[in-house]
Amino acid sequence: MKIRADVAQMLRAGHSDRQIARQLGVHRDQVIRARRLLGIPAGPTFPQPKAVEDLFRERVEEVDGGHLKWRGFRNERGTPVLKHRSRGALRNETAYRVAWRLQHDREPEGLVLPGCGYDQCVAPGHVEDRRLRNQVTAAYAAIFGETAA
């Protein structure tokens, strides 16, 4: 295979395969083959986005009682929100839902809220989904004969 001089020059200058293909109007596979023939290693790859769990942990602060205080973004109502990429799409979801998944390894049912009494706690073991709240209410009623306040 004959290597175009301009492709070789850009490869040696450190340009990416995509950038070379776009600028010179050649197919990217042609640039990749030229890179291999010239013995030039592939350029740097883009960093992978952080996992949602890592983003969550970067935005919390541990406080007394095992509670976690949210230090990240909040929506207009003050709800803790985590912005992240999932399957290529930008998503906004409450930190409560992320905390729930970290603890239970399943999607929550309905609204997820702190169940510990600490205002806006996002500790994974302290949040409750609808199903858990219903179970707690039923257990309380079975023990005390009335509904929880």
Residues 6+ apart with CB under 8 A from 43: 14, 15, 16, 17
Q: Rounded to 5 degrees, what are φ and ψ at 121?
A: -65, 135
For the stretch 3-18, pLDDT in tens is 999 999 999 998 889 8
Residues 6+ apart with CB under 8 A from 147: 137, 140, 141
Percent of the chain predicted with pLDDT > 70: 95
For the stretch 26-44, pLDDT in tens is 999 999 999 999 999 986 6
Q: How many Cβ atoms are within 10 Å of 145's Cβ, its own excluded?
A: 7
